[in-house]
Amino acid sequence: MPNYDFDLITIGGGSGGVRASRFAAQRHGKKVAVIENLRIGGTCVMRGCVPKKLLVYGAHFAHDFEDAEGYGWDTGEISHNWSKLMAAKTGELDRLESIYHRLLREAGVEEMTGTGNVVDAHTVEVAGKTYTAEHILVATGGWPTVPDVPGIEHAITSNEALDLEELPKRIVIVGGGYIAVEFAGIFNALGADVTVIIRADNILRGFDQTMRDALCDEMRKKGIKVMAECQVQSIEKIETGYSLRLDQVDFIETDLVMYATGRAPNTKGIGLEEAGVKLSSNGAIIVDEFSQTSVDSIYAIGDVIDRVQLTPVALAEGMALVRTLYEGKPTSMSYENIASAVFSQPPIGSVGLSEADARVDYDVEIYQSRFRPMKHTLSGRDEHSVMKLIVDKASDRILGAHMMGMDAPEIIQGIAIAVKAGATKADFDATIGIHPTAAEEFVTMREPLRAES
C-alpha cells in the first residue's frame, strides 16, 4: 500500500470540510489536513448566514421599538450606531473562528494556510509544497458572481456588505434571491432608502408563489421599492454617488450599489480539470450519490457541487462521506424535504414542494391562512402572516408547508419533522394546537382553499 503523507486532505475550511475532517480524525484516527486560503468557518460563519443574521437581529430592533409604543412604552429618541454593530459582529466572528481552530486542533487535524491545488489523484500543492493523501476532499464552497455590466467595478457583493464602514443613505440592490431580500430588509429597517431591481416579475424564484407575493407586498409596505422586469445597463460614478442607467426608466441615483445575482461553485484555478475531475457547465463538481468525483480518490461536498446550497446540507454530506470512507457504510444524502428559511422581514420558512411543483405530479388540495399576528393588534403594525399546506388528495400526505411571518423559520423547523416523517393532513388535524400562537394555524386549517387540480 502506498505511503501517503495523509489519509485525507480537505481543500476548504467551511462547515462541510471541517465536519468531515474532524470526524475522520477524531472518530477514526485518520491523519487529516485542512487547507484554507481565507478564514476557517467558510461562507456561512464568516461571510454568510451567521453575520447576516446578526445584522437581521440588529435591524429588527427598529421595528420592536416602534411596536413597543402600542404596549405603553415610551422609548424616547432612538438612534443607531452602525460602527458599534459592525464591531460587535466582527468580535463574534473572531470568537467563532477561534472555536473552529480549537475543534480542529483538539481533533488532531493539521491546518495549512493557502490555496490548495490538486496536482493529481493523490497529490495537493499548497504554498509551494506538495502533499499526498489516500483521499482528497474538495469543499471550496461558492463565491458571489456579478454580470458583465459597464461600471460593475463600482458595485459590491454580500461579502463587502457585511463589512461596510458606514450605513448608506441610499442603496440599490440588484437581484431578487434570498440574499437580496434579506439585505434589503436590513438596510431598510436601519433607515436606508432601498431599491431592489430584478429581471423577473417577482422576487424569490423557486419559492412558493403565495410566499413570493406576500413578501413582496410586505417589503413594499415597509418602503422598499421593488422594480420588476428591469435590468441595469450601466453604472457610473458621479459626484453624489452612483448613477445607474436602466432599461425601464432613464436613470436612478444611489450612494451604494450591491449585486446579489447568484453564487458560482468555487472551482477555478485549483487544478481540478487537469487532474481529471469532471465539472458541469457552471463549474460545479460532478459527483455520484456518495460524493465521489470522476477520479476515484477525489470527493466533493457542499456548495461546490451545487445541489442544495445550505450549511446543514454540507454538514450532512460531510458525515455521510465519513461513514462511506471510514465506517464501511456507503451512505448517500437524501435531498428530499429539506427545510429552508429566508431571514427577510418578515421571514419565510418552507419545507417540501411548492404548489406549482406539486401540481406537476399530484392532484392536490391547498389549505391557506392569512392573518394579522396577535402582537400587531396593539402595535398597530400593518403586517400579515401567511401559512400554506399542500396536500396530496390520493394519500392525504403533506407535500409542502410554507409560512411567511413572525417566527416562520422556527415554526417550520418543527413542521419539517412531520413532513419528513410522511405526516398526513389527518395527522395535522388530530393535533391539538397551542393557543394563542401563530403555529396553531397549521393544525386548524380545515377547509381547502380550492380543490381544482
Query: CATH number for the domain including 417?
Result: 3.30.390.30
pLDDT tens figures, 31-43: 999 999 999 999 9
What cell does 41 get? 468557518
Residue 450 scores a pLDDT above 90: no
- 300 shares its domain with 176: no
> Residue 250: what pLDDT?
84
List CB contacts of 318: < 8 A, sequence separation 6 or more.
15, 16, 17, 18, 19, 20, 23, 139, 301, 302
- 183 shares its domain with 47: no
> Residue 1: what pLDDT?
63
**Is 428 a domain residue?**
yes
411 within 8 A of 349, measured Cβ to Cβ: yes
Per cent of the chain over pLDDT 90 is 98
- 124 shares its domain with 169: no
> Residue 249: what pLDDT?
73
104 within 8 A of 34, measured Cβ to Cβ: yes
* CA angle at 165 for the pair 160 and 170, rounded to the nearest 5°: 80
- Domain termination residue (choose one: 221, 236, 261): 261
More confidently predicted of 13 and 75: 13
**Is 425 a domain residue?**
yes
**Is 299 a domain residue?**
yes
> Residue 452: what pLDDT?
47
**Is 12 a domain residue?**
yes
Residue 431 scores a pLDDT above 90: yes
Residue 437 scores a pLDDT above 60: yes
- 116 shares its domain with 224: no
109 within 8 A of 25, measured Cβ to Cβ: yes
232 within 8 A of 245, measured Cβ to Cβ: yes
> Residue 449: what pLDDT?
85
Task: Check if 435 is active-site.
Answer: yes
- 94 shares its domain with 201: no
pLDDT tens figures, 359-409: 999 999 999 999 999 999 999 999 999 999 999 999 999 999 999 999 999
428 within 8 A of 418, measured Cβ to Cβ: yes
User: Span 187-208, mean pLDDT?
Assistant: 98
- 251 shares its domain with 284: no
Residue 411 scores a pLDDT above 70: yes
User: Span 176-187, mean pLDDT?
Assistant: 98
User: pLDDT band at residue 453, thresholds of 50, 70 and 90?
Assistant: very low
- 308 shares its domain with 379: no
pLDDT tens figures, 289-305: 999 999 999 999 999 99
- Domain termination residue (choose one: 261, 279, 299): 261
Residue (of 44, 21, 39) closest to 138 by Cα position: 21
**Is 332 a domain residue?**
no
Q: Which of 1-5, 215-219, 333-337, 395-399 comes out lowest in average pLDDT? A: 1-5
- 50 shares its domain with 138: yes
pLDDT tens figures, 223-274: 999 999 999 999 999 999 999 999 977 899 999 999 999 999 999 999 999 9
**Is 453 a domain residue?**
no
Domain count, the chain: 3
User: How much is the mean pLDDT over the chain?
Assistant: 97
Per cent of the chain over pLDDT 70 is 99
H/E stretch holding 254 = strand 251-254
- 160 shares its domain with 240: yes
The four Cα atoms 212, 217, 220, 224 give a dihedral, to 10 degrees, of -20
- 243 shares its domain with 376: no
Q: CA-CA distance, 243 to 298, in Å (whole number)? A: 47
pTM listed for this prediction: 0.96
Q: Which of 71-80, 109-118, 242-251, 443-452 comes out lowest in average pLDDT? A: 443-452
| Ordered DSSP codes for 20-61 | HHHHHHHTT---EEEEESS-TTHIIIIISHHHHHHHHHHHHH
Q: Which of 125-129, 144-148, 197-201, 246-250 comes out lowest in average pLDDT? A: 246-250
Residue (of 274, 278, 275) closest to 305 by Cα position: 278
**Is 335 a domain residue?**
no
User: Span 432-440, mean pLDDT?
Assistant: 97
Residue 16 scores a pLDDT above 90: yes
- Domain termination residue (choose one: 261, 293, 317): 261
- 280 shares its domain with 428: no
93 within 8 A of 86, measured Cβ to Cβ: no
Q: In terms of DSSP H, where are the helices of 49-165?
A: 49-68, 82-107, 158-161
What is the domain extent for residue 60?
Answer: 6-143+264-326
**Is 1 a domain residue?**
no
> Residue 451: what pLDDT?
52
Query: CATH number for the domain including 75?
Result: 3.50.50.60
- 251 shares its domain with 273: no
